[in-house]
Amino acid sequence: MTGIVFDIKRFAIHDGPGIRTSIFLKGCPLSCWWCHNPESQKKGIEHLRFKFKGSLSIGWETTAEELLIEVEKDRPFYEQSNGGITFTGGEPVLQAKFLMETAKLFKQKNFHLCLDTTGYTAPKIFQEVSQYIDLFLFDLKHLDDDYHKKYTGVSNKLILKNLEYLVETKKEVHIRFPLIPNINDQANHLENLAEYLSSLKYINNIFILPYHKIAQGKYEQLNFENKMNGIQEPTKDEVENTKFFFEKSGFNVKIGG
């Protein structure tokens, strides 16, 4: 079986505990306004035209065995730092069969596995995938379904259902919350979010990912519509205040991945 990967990052330190290798699987069913990797959203290998760099191929076909060779290179670093492998994307679960085959092989080799996921997939598939994963980095973008649809293109119903499944089965989950001014940083939304996460129990860790404009140039280069025009990065104070708010609500909070 083969899958499509669009990047492999060695020595990653923001994608879960310790030193990790992050494997980026191509394709995502969401289309978030603030996406930093818009070139990753389409499933399959793409040939994109960049304004100044010419044409680039995004993604390549690979196998679980080839990925194993790659990740074995850094095994000593994972062992020294309690690190491992992180599957990210895109949305890795979109290639569920390939993800499961790879994760199963990696588990046989005793790697610690993280899944960075939106949780947007059929519960049956999500539950099957979850048996191979040690830690979920679960992206939660908006609790209000209408706003979720507006800003990401999809409903959050499956997402919440899958998150609740992880909690029920006592999986380790870190929430990743992208903090975006005027989109999800309103006081009432933060309050609802804290209340919801408290009600789930077993969720202790929130990582705030402040929106930044780093991908703006990419949108221009690719001639993609950038819906974030006019939306500012949160200030340092806004980020700190949000951190303080979640801490007051009883969570361990970190800024960044």
Q: What residues line the site for ligand SF4 (CB under 6 A)?
A: 28, 30-32, 35, 37, 40-41, 89-91, 118
Q: How far is the C-alpha of 128 from the C-alpha of 25, rounded, in Å?
A: 18
Task: Tell me how far, at minimum, the Cβ of 121 lies from ligand SF4, in Å.
Answer: 12
Which DSSP category does 248 fall into?
Answer: H
E strands of the chain, at which residues?
A: 3-12, 20-25, 46-50, 54-58, 60-62, 84-89, 113-117, 135-139, 172-179, 205-210, 252-255
Choice between 24 and 251, CB closer to ligand SF4: 24
Task: Tell me how far, at minimum, the Cβ of 116 lies from ligand SF4, in Å.
Answer: 9
Task: Tell me how far, at minimum, the Cβ of 152 lies from ligand SF4, in Å.
Answer: 6
Choice between 35 and 71, CB closer to ligand SF4: 35
Choice between 35 and 206, CB closer to ligand SF4: 35
Q: How far is the C-alpha of 127 from the C-alpha of 141, rounded, in Å?
A: 21
Are 26 and 88 spatial neighbours (Cβ–Cβ below 8 Å)? no
Total number of residues shown for the chain: 257
Its sign, for the CA torsion 29, 222, 86, 180, is: negative
Choice between 31 and 198, CB closer to ligand SF4: 31
Task: Tell me how far, at minimum, the Cβ of 240 lies from ligand SF4, in Å.
Answer: 24
Task: Tell me how far, at minimum, the Cβ of 97 lies from ligand SF4, in Å.
Answer: 19
Are 111 and 71 spatial neighbours (Cβ–Cβ below 8 Å)? yes
Choice between 32 and 114, CB closer to ligand SF4: 32
